[in-house]
Each structure stands twice: as C-alpha cells, then as structure tokens.
Amino acid sequence: MIMTGGKTHKNLQYSIRLLRLRDWWDKWLHLAGAAFLFWIDSGRIGITEGKFIAYIAAVIFLLIGGYAMNAAADFPQDRGAGRTDPPQQKHSLILSIVSLVIGLILILIITNEALPLMITAATILLGLEYSLLPMRFKERGIWGPITGSVIQKPALFLIFIAILSVWNWLSLILLAWLFFSSMLGMLGHQVLDYKNDLKTGVHTFAVRYSPRLALILSIVFAALISMTIMVPLIFYSFLKALTIMCLLVVCSSVYAIKGLKSIKKIREAVSHKNSSTFTYPSYPNLE
C-alpha cells in the first residue's frame, strides 16, 4: 500500500511537470480576469455563459500545448545538462499536439466566424515557431520576448475580442496591459532562469545580451504596466475606471510578489561573471 501511494505521488508530480502548471497559471489568471471584465462590460454580447467557460478552457489547453512543445524542444539540452528527471520528449510532444487540437476545437464550438479562427490558427503556428525550427524565436534576441509575449496573452485575448466583435478603448487597454505584463514576465523569467539557460545552451535574450539588460527592460515594462493601469481614468467615469484599475492592480500584484520572492536569485544572475558569454546555439533535433 505504501509503495502504491509512493508511485501515485510520483506519477502526480510527473504529470504536474508535464503540464507545466507553474509556468502558465498566472497567464491564465490574467486572461481569465481580462476576458471576464470585457465580457461583462460588453453586455455579454456574442457568447453565453457556457461558451465563455469553453473559451476559458480553450485558453488552458492552448497554454498547455505551447508550454509542452517548448519543453519538448528543449529536452535534448535539458537532458545533456543533467536536469533531474525531465518529462520525456515524446510525452511532451503528444500532450502538446492533443492540447492544441482540443483548444482549436473548443474555439470552433464557440464560433464559426473566420476572424477568431484565423487568429487562433496563427497563434498556434506562432507558438510552435517560438520553440521549433526554422524560426525558433526563443533564441533570436529581442524577438524571443516579443513573440513569446504576444502569443502568451494578447493573441489569446484577441481571439475573445474577435468572438464578441467588440472593439473599444477597454479592448485596447487590456491588450496593452496583457502585452506589457507578458514582457515583464518573459524577461523576468529569463533573468531568473539565466544560469540554467547558460548551462543548457538555450540562448535567450538574457543569455545573448546579459541578464542586467533584461532586468532593466523588465523595470521599464513594470513602469508601462503602472501607466496602463491609470489610463481608464481618461476614458471612463471614476467608478467604472476604478473597477477596471482594481482588477488590473490585483492581477499585476502577482509579478510584485514573484519579484520580492526572487530578489536573491535576481542578484545572483545579474552579478554572474559569465553574463556576456555567448556561443551560437545548436538547435535541438525533434525527429
């Protein structure tokens, strides 16, 4: 019985690593909050409660699919660097394909309009190219954070805007906030993961140009987030603007908490002696 319990616990841990839950839960939180606010503000135009839940589920599957593919692409480097028991490459590939297909099917269930389906397909393709050849944007300097940030949140939210077919100031504010928060999260993650990426040969923006520069840009995007949160005061009444601002502040606090918890690791990365070390990457073979 003890052995069975230990095996179950080990399988559960493996499943969590395979799903990469720790990497995308905050992205889902931001997208769910933004979508709910926009849906309510739009008078629930276009989709019912059931279809709204289906959209939230589609976001989860699309995020799982993107992160699982990234894990599969990085598997040879992770294994070569001796990372402890990473999920198997084939498991990540299968999970990625299945999750992306389910995400697309859910969007098809919600709408048969061309624009949201085109955005969904483009997001999936761009997400794959973030990790895979021939582009592998992940290792192409500043295009890595930009591409990753677009597909993590703004593109997924753009699908929802297209489904509702409501284009207003709130949609622009939320898109800007999602992009800036994605850039902050992407660059911040590269700083925190700098030593591992350097060790495994994953040449992110932080590895190419130093974690110090990535940290400076993170601070810039944190400032842009603060400015974006104040923008609703320009276009809406005080009470409505306050409602929007409170949601954005609560969701944005995730990064403040993460940053405070990671101060030591950030300092270690920024002061690392090999921060300027760079060799051209050898891309992983997924065949």
Whole-number Å distance between alpha carbons of 146 and 182: 9
Q: Kindly report the pTM of this predicted structure.
A: 0.89
Name the helix (H) or strand (E) containing 80: helix 49-80
pLDDT band with cut points at 50, 70 and 90 for residue 201? confident
- 48-75 burial: b if 16+ Cβ within 10 Å, else e: eeeebebbbebbbbbbbbbbbbbbbbbb
Query: Domain segments of the chain: what residues?
Result: 24-270
User: Rounded to whole angstroms, what are the CA distances from 227 to 172, 181, 211, 213, 233?
Assistant: 14, 12, 24, 21, 11
The tokens for 247 are 């949601």
Q: What digits encode the pLDDT tens for the residues 226-274? A: 999 999 999 999 999 999 999 999 999 988 888 888 888 899 888 875 5
pLDDT band with cut points at 50, 70 and 90 for residue 37? very high
Instruction: Look at residue 153 and tell me whether its pLDDT is greater than 90.
Output: yes
Please list, in sequence order, all residues whose beta carbon lies within 8 angstroms of the beta carbon of residue 165, skipping any fewer than 6 positions away.
45, 46, 113
Residue 194 carries which DSSP code? H
Whole-number Å distance between alpha carbons of 3 and 9: 10
CATH number of 24-270: 1.10.600
